[in-house]
Amino acid sequence: MLVNGRDLANQAKQSIEEIHCHELALLLTQEIILIDVRERHEVDTGMLPGAVHISRGVLEMQLDTHPAVAHHSNPLEVMAQQPVYLYCRSGVRSALAAESLQKMGFKRVFSLAGGIQAWQEAKLPVVNAKT
């Protein structure tokens, strides 16, 4: 059976947890693992405060480079003990990424519902990307 991208994303959303903008905004006062999975040219337009950029295409292979855990001897194990928040432009790629991290063994992974588009529509802050 052939499945299109939209259907694949909808299936992923059935097996992951989404977080809404205002819920995530409240968490930004804490140190959290927040990953922007968009492409570099998208990130250059702005990011959520405190986010680290790891493109969707390399996420699984570069998770252990996240600054919050990179200095540990087993960074993925340390990261898997914490909630991980992902976002993209509209919430599709981050849902697929969240599903992938769950398959890797992560238990508390969240995708931002509606992505940065919903965040900006809610008039929440965006910062310049760190280069």
Contact 98, 110 (CB under 8 A): yes
Q: What is the DSSP letter of 47?
A: B
Residue from 129, 58, 127, 52 nearest 87 by CA = 52
* Six token digits for residue 128: 């310049």
Catalytic residue among 16, 34, 48, 88: 88
Annotation says 88 is catalytic: yes
Query: Which sequence positions are flagged as catalytic?
Result: 88
